[in-house]
Amino acid sequence: MSIIYDENKKVFKLDTAKSTYAFHVTNDGTLLHLYYGAKIPETDITHMLRIPGDEPFVPAVHDSMGPHSFDCAPMEFPTSGMADFREPCFQLMDKYGMSACECVYKDYRITDGKPKLNGLPATYSRDGDAKTLEIFCTDPHNGMEIVLMYSVFEYCDVITRSVRVKNNGTDPIELRRLLSTCVELDRMDYDMITLYGTWARERHVQRFPLRFGKQSVDSNRGATSHAHNNFIALCEHTATEDFGEAYGFALCYSGSFVAMAEVNQYEKTRVVSGINPYDFSWHLECGEEFQAPEVIMTYSNEGIGGMSRNLHDIMRNNLIRGKWRDKRRPILINNWEATYFDFDSDKLIEIAKEAKKAGIEMLVMDDGWFGHRNSDRSSLGDWFVNEDKIKGGLKKLVDEVNKIGLKFGIWFEPEMISPDSELYKAHPDWCIHIPGRRRNTSRSQLVIDFSRKDVRDYIYSRVKDILSSANIEYVKWDMNRQLSEVGNEVLPPERQREIWHRYVLGVYEMQERLLTDFPDLLLENCAGGGSRFDAGMLYYSPQIWTSDDTDAIERLKIQHGTSLCYPCSCFGAHVSASPNHCVGRITPFKTRGHVALPGTFGYELDVTKLSDEDKNAIKEQIEEFNKYNPLVRNGDYYRIGDPFATDRFDAWEFVSKDKTEALLEYVQVLKEPSVFLQRVRLKGLQSGKYYRCEQNGRVYSAEVLQNSGFDIPDLWGDFMSYIAYFTMV
């Protein structure tokens, strides 16, 4: 069994294929964390609490805890105001202005499968591949019910955690903080890995040793943000891609968040993650409950790469849903970098005809098709077709594109409203704002108030009407600014701080409605590029636009960092024009294709202006993509190079689950003189087997490829690329 309870030792033990997570119930009902690491067989492990007499002497031992002090005990779910002075997961404010709260164990339940989280994205069970433990607790002082939920996905070494609370008391309560997970580690000698960045430079890797005190990443922007991703990892100082212990924590949420590691004075580490308590509260009337989002956790003793592959498996198989979860995505061309706002239906038809000749399968019409929008300064919210551009209407255009032989997709930004729009003139109160304060625009737009059902219903009706009017098979859902001046004129004062979370729930509800009404629709999320690239969005869209920076060399770092947590199959990745529109870099067409190959693959350029040589290159790239995509989409991913460590090269590899085939991709970033041979070691092959390289016809043992390496042919010039495909013989 993956979840057991030892009644004698009062130990809960959760096992995956290679890991164990365990905690203990004390005599007074306190939950103490015991262990998270490599798999162990026994439940008789309460000695890990270091009692009696092994703890450092502290004068503040608490009588109810036996020999323990709340200040250093490994709390499974720490609360505020009860002499644990580290970062809490739970805090409230009662009618007396008191914020102390407790979490006292009462009962448990183990079930097969995994329940849904009300209104929130979360992993799900397929064919009985999960088991769930619910721990029922209470605060005896105020009647709060706290339910800790753990789900075990044994096959991929993943455990998920979430929390819900219910006010079973006699008075309303203000919930001030409810983080989703806490893990106590018995050491501090770890490195922390985070993903930081900005627009066009998302998810760069930062790795640093833990120090005493708190080290955290967060967002208070109402979205995940370009600045920090809501994934963090802890690993041994000596951990590499292939060796050593690593823990990964991915929050399944798309709003403001915090993820933190705190080292206390006794050299122990607490890891917490959840909704950012900044400017947050939730009013709970008697009988009301609140559900916190889920955290996906994994442990690997096979290095950082092993951690990543665990996360990739759970997200591909048990988070992404629907028709497109296991399917190759259509190869699309998006007109944004080809035309920006300067297009009409004639130009789109011209692009579609050339795209069809090259083997592209879908045309996506980006921003500028609605209202009177000829720049980014107007018309958001006016989701009506501009027939000065789209002559004869949208259905006529879509039908023409379909006749050419291409599918059709469209861009929306449903969460925004322009002051220069008919909708804003009619409903100036529909944006998020604080009455009486100046409304600060960003990119000439305001955020529409998705915390309000009437607003959501109207916007959804417009989006649905557009999608119902023609054969539209793909939607790119964008969000180009984040939340500020958060308030509205609808909610009472005690519920105003709920808007941050209500807004995110509104986004989720809208996308769920969209997928319910249009189950065959391919949805791609985007947020100013990659500022909402998180596990929560993957529940609704099987792909996310990785970055507005499509330069192949910049994408090496962006895609490397993103792959620490997220599977390549969800990377929105396109071949774009050269010189690149973001950085002005000139790169070979072949290299641009190879860097986009691991992702969803498409084009972001004006195909009508390409040379015949480049048009033929598109045909070759599409043939290559079709050949390798099943392996890329379903295989295990191995990082071989590190673009943050060297500017010479980057390399990565996909290996099929049965280890019968492998694809190596190599990018020479800067050519160095007197270096004519680059040898890279492959990973993940089956020992004792032999592999034939399609490119040179030679047969190699797995041992040679993994221990000596594969010789990359000499590549002349900067920004060159090479791929090698291996099959078992």
* Total residues found in the chain within this entry: 729
Per the CB < 8 A criterion, the answer to whether 523 and 470 are in contact is no
pLDDT in tens, 620-673: 999 999 999 999 999 999 999 999 999 899 999 999 999 999 999 999 999 988
- Whole-number pLDDT of residue 82: 86
Give a three-class secondary structure readout of 7-42: CCCCEEEEECCCEEEEEEECCCCCEEEEEEEECCCC
List, by residue range, all CATH 2.70.98.60 domains of the chain. Answer: 3-318
User: From CA 388, how far away is CA 550, in angstroms rounded?
Assistant: 31
User: From CA 518, how far away is CA 130, in angstroms rounded?
Assistant: 28
List, by residue range, all CATH 3.20.20.70 domains of the chain. Answer: 332-631
> Residue ranges of the alpha helices (H) in 550-606?
552-562, 589-596
List, by residue range, all CATH 2.60.40.1180 domains of the chain. Answer: 649-728
**Active site (catalytic) residues:** 478, 548
For domain 649-728, is the CATH number 2.60.40.1180?
A: yes
pLDDT in tens, 65-80: 555 677 888 999 999 9
DSSP reduced 3-state for 208: strand
CA dihedral of 392, 397, 398, 400, whole degrees rounded to 10? 120
- Provide CB contacts within 8 A for 35, sequence distance 6+: 20, 21, 22, 45, 48
CA dihedral of 540, 543, 549, 551, whole degrees rounded to 10? 180
| List of E strands, 39-143 | 90-93, 104-112, 131-139
Per the CB < 8 A criterion, the answer to whether 471 and 363 are in contact is no
- Whole-number pLDDT of residue 54: 47
Which residues of the chain fall short of a pLDDT of 70? 50-68, 676
Tokens, residue 3 = 């979840």
CATH homologous superfamily of domain 3-318?
Answer: alpha-galactosidase from lactobacil brevis (2.70.98.60)
Q: How far apart are the first and last CA of the chain?
A: 38
CA dihedral of 148, 149, 153, 154, whole degrees rounded to 10? 50
302 secondary structure, DSSP code: B
- Whole-number pLDDT of residue 211: 97
| pTM (whole model) above 0.85 | yes
How many angstroms separate the most distant Cα atoms in the chain?
A: 83
- Whole-number pLDDT of residue 284: 98
> What is the Cα 58 distance to its own chain's centre?
41
Give 332-631's CATH code, choosing from 3.20.20.70, 3.40.50.2300, 3.40.190.10, 3.30.420.10.
3.20.20.70
User: From CA 369, how far away is CA 387, in angstroms rounded?
Assistant: 8
- The Cα-based distances of 92 to 97, 200, 214, 451, 591 in angstroms read 9, 39, 22, 22, 54
